[in-house]
């Protein structure tokens, strides 16, 4: 598995401290940069990479390190910490020691701690590691430090950490594999989980989560399909009947009283000079959690404190290209959102999925949904919104076994979509409950209750509603 080592430092790493950490490997190694300077590589004398170090990321958001690494990874002190991730080349026996020595030397100079605390190379890191006789395995995707094996069909990434986050280099690997018509395949042991942003991105691309299993070999962590390595990629296995079996480990599920409330919505704004993005997400966060978001970033960990102004500046800076961001909450109320800003011919669109975790005895704020929908229609240019409830982990991470699919509890149409469907059609549906009118009477939206999110009958109601609305639009 991957040899990822993370230094959580108390003071900001500068160029000299990074260099001092790299020199823990000894004088026979070379330091090079890639990815336009975003990644520093420690190479052997022949230039083959042994360890890749990503640019330091300041964590201003309480709980982010703990969310992704576990309770033992909380930074010491009340101030910010810096997250410096080192990744050892797979197949090089001493590369992991080099990564550990780098992280340990860095924390010795700047204060802080190393994750995992027992990483090879962290003991005696003040002394250079003996690298005599080390031969690096050539990295197939030298420009992609996250990729451990590359074929014409797949880019395989090996991970062994409590939660697999969508780090900046993993998101870059995903982008590169999609552009090259490959499948990104993340291979993990069975104790790993995916962060919510990682799961959502894998499900929206031709990617796969491959889980090692002592009984069947490998299986898909999101579908349970037994996999095997064939034709240069992990793909579903077939039995004598041509069917793909489901791994026993995937179906080994215990009931839980934890739930997730999922609210997915799109907004559209005129591209005016005074436009400030993020207002719809902030309103939803306040309504469903009782407070504002805590932090955000373009990858995980989300290191920046929440700022609508900074989000807007980034969107303008990268326009007309879209931006994808992660938004996180506080440890006492787990909440994670992905927000994508897209420039379209009609204006500036925000595509948002907000998920809030609830433990035993905690009731999801379903009663707040109609008022939230009204605010989004009135003030934030809502187009559509889908509200769902599922039985799943409070911490929002995805384990490699079956989880109940979400069940719809409400659907919302904004004024533009109501006009397209026809106001009479939108206001008179075959559902038992009448829709709730939202916003101004001249340009209304409608909120459609679909149930309490506890029975599959809500899907039947949703299908009836869509058939009714689409039938009118196509007439």
pLDDT-derived band at 142, boundaries 50, 70, 90: very low
Kindly state the tokens that stand for 53.
């170090």
Q: Under a CB-based contact definition with an 8 Å cutoff, are residues 294 and 61 in contact?
A: yes
pLDDT-derived band at 216, boundaries 50, 70, 90: very high
For the CA atoms of 135, 140, 146, 147, what is the dihedral angle to 10 degrees?
-120
How does strand 163-164 pair with strand 193-194? Answer: parallel
Q: Under a CB-based contact definition with an 8 Å cutoff, are residues 191 and 214 in contact?
A: no
pLDDT at 133 over 90: no
Residues 6 or more apart whose Cβ sits within 8 Å of residue 15: none
Residues 6 or more apart whose Cβ sits within 8 Å of residue 369: 263, 387, 409, 410, 447
pLDDT at 174 over 70: yes
Q: Report residue 337 CA to chain centroid gap.
A: 9
pLDDT-derived band at 78, boundaries 50, 70, 90: low
Query: What is the mean predicted confidence (pLDDT) over 9-37?
Result: 68
Query: What is the mean predicted confidence (pLDDT) over 184-190?
Result: 96
DSSP state of 49: E
C-alpha 453/C-alpha 388 separation (Å) is 6
DSSP state of 24: G
Minimal CA–CA distance to 301: which of 327, 275, 280? 327
> Which pLDDT tens digit goes with each residue over 329-348?
998 889 999 999 999 999 99
How does strand 149-150 pair with strand 112-115? Answer: unpaired
Please calculate the CA angle 425-430-432 and round it to the nearest 5 degrees: 125
pLDDT at 23 over 70: no
Strands (E), 101-232: 112-115, 149-150, 154-158, 163-164, 183-188, 193-194, 208-213, 217-220, 226-230
Residues 6 or more apart whose Cβ sits within 8 Å of residue 474: none
Query: What is the mean predicted confidence (pLDDT) over 90-108?
Result: 83
pLDDT at 217 over 50: yes
pLDDT on residue 471:
75
Q: Under a CB-based contact definition with an 8 Å cutoff, are residues 319 and 343 in contact?
A: yes
pLDDT on residue 60:
92
Q: Which of 111-120, 165-174, 373-382 has the highest mean pLDDT?
A: 373-382
Burial of 410 (0-12, 13-18, 19+ CB in 10 A): buried
Q: Under a CB-based contact definition with an 8 Å cutoff, are residues 297 and 303 in contact?
A: yes
Q: Which of 2-11, 100-109, 138-147, 224-233 has the highest mean pLDDT?
A: 224-233
> Which pLDDT tens digit goes with each residue over 344-378?
999 999 999 999 999 999 999 999 999 999 999 99
Task: Report CA-CA distances (Å) from 220 to 146, 147, 207, 227, 315.
Answer: 20, 19, 10, 7, 35
Task: Report CA-CA distances (Å) from 253 to 129, 218, 280, 326.
Answer: 45, 18, 36, 29
pLDDT on residue 79:
72
> Which pLDDT tens digit goes with each residue over 404-459?
999 999 999 999 999 999 999 999 999 999 999 999 999 999 999 998 888 889 99
C-alpha 397/C-alpha 165 separation (Å) is 10
Please calculate the CA angle 66-71-76 and round it to the nearest 5 degrees: 75
161-177 burial, b at 16+ Cβ within 10 Å, e below that, comes to bbbbbbbbbbbbbbebb
Task: Report CA-CA distances (Å) from 40 to 151, 296, 349, 374, 380.
Answer: 24, 24, 36, 49, 42
pLDDT-derived band at 147, boundaries 50, 70, 90: confident
Q: Under a CB-based contact definition with an 8 Å cutoff, are residues 77 and 10 in contact?
A: yes
pLDDT on residue 22:
67
pTM for this structure?
Answer: 0.91
Minimal CA–CA distance to 294: which of 283, 276, 282, 309? 282
20/277: higher pLDDT: 277
pLDDT at 35 over 60: no
Q: How far apart are the first and last CA of the chain?
A: 56
DSSP state of 411: E
C-alpha 224/C-alpha 218 separation (Å) is 9
User: Any alpha helices (H) in 74-218, and if so which ranges?
Assistant: 95-110, 168-179, 196-203
């Amino acid at each position: 598995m991957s040899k990822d080592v993370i230094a959580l430092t108390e003071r900001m790493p500068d160029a000299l401290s990074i260099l001092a950490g790299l020199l823990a490997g000894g004088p026979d190694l070379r330091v090079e940069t890639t990815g336009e300077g975003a990644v520093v590589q420690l190479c052997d004398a022949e230039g083959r990479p042994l360890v890749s170090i990503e640019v330091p990321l300041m964590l201003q958001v309480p709980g982010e390190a703990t969310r992704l690494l576990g309770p033992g990874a909380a930074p010491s002190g009340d101030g910010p910490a810096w997250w410096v991730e080192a990744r050892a080349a797979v197949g090089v026996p001493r590369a992991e020691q080099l990564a550990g020595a780098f992280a340990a030397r860095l924390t010795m100079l700047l204060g802080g701690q190393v994750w995992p605390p027992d990483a090879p190379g962290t003991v005696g890191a003040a002394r250079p590691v003996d690298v005599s006789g080390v031969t690096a395995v050539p990295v197939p995707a030298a420009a992609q430090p996250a990729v451990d094996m590359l074929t014409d069909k797949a880019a395989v990434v090996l991970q062994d950490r409590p939660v697999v986050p969508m780090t900046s280099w993993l998101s870059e690997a995903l982008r590169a594999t999609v552009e090259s018509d490959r499948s990104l395949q993340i291979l993990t042991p069975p104790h790993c989980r995916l962060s919510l942003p990682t799961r959502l991105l894998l499900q929206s691309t031709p990617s796969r989560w491959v889980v090692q299993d002592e009984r069947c070999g490998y299986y898909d962590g999101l579908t349970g399909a037994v996999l095997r390595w064939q034709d240069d990629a992990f793909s579903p296995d077939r039995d004598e009947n041509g069917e793909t079996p489901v791994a026993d480990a995937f179906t080994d599920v215990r009931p839980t009283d934890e739930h997730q409330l999922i609210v997915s919505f799109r907004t559209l704004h005129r591209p005016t000079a005074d436009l400030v993005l993020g207002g719809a997400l902030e309103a939803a966060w306040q309504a469903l959690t009782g407070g504002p978001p805590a932090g955000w970033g373009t990858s995980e960990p989300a290191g920046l404190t929440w700022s609508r102004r900074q989000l807007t500046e980034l969107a303008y800076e990268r326009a007309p290209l879209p931006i994808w961001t992660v938004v996180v909450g506080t440890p006492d109320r787990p909440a994670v959102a992905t927000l994508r800003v897209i420039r379209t011919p009609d204006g500036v669109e925000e595509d948002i999925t907000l998920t809030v975790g609830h433990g035993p005895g905690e009731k999801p704020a379903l009663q707040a949904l109609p008022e939230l929908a009204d605010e989004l229609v009135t003030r934030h240019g809502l187009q559509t919104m889908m509200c769902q409830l599922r039985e799943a982990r409070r911490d929002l991470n995805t384990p490699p076994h079956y989880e109940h699919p979400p069940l719809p509890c409400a659907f919302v149409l904004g004024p533009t979509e109501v006009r397209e469907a026809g106001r009479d059609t939108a206001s008179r549906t075959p559902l038992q409950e009448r829709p709730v009118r939202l916003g101004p009477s001249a340009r209304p939206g409608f909120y459609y209750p679909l149930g309490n999110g506890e029975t599959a009958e809500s899907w039947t109601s949703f299908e009836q509603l869509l058939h009714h609305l689409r039938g009118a639009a196509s007439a």
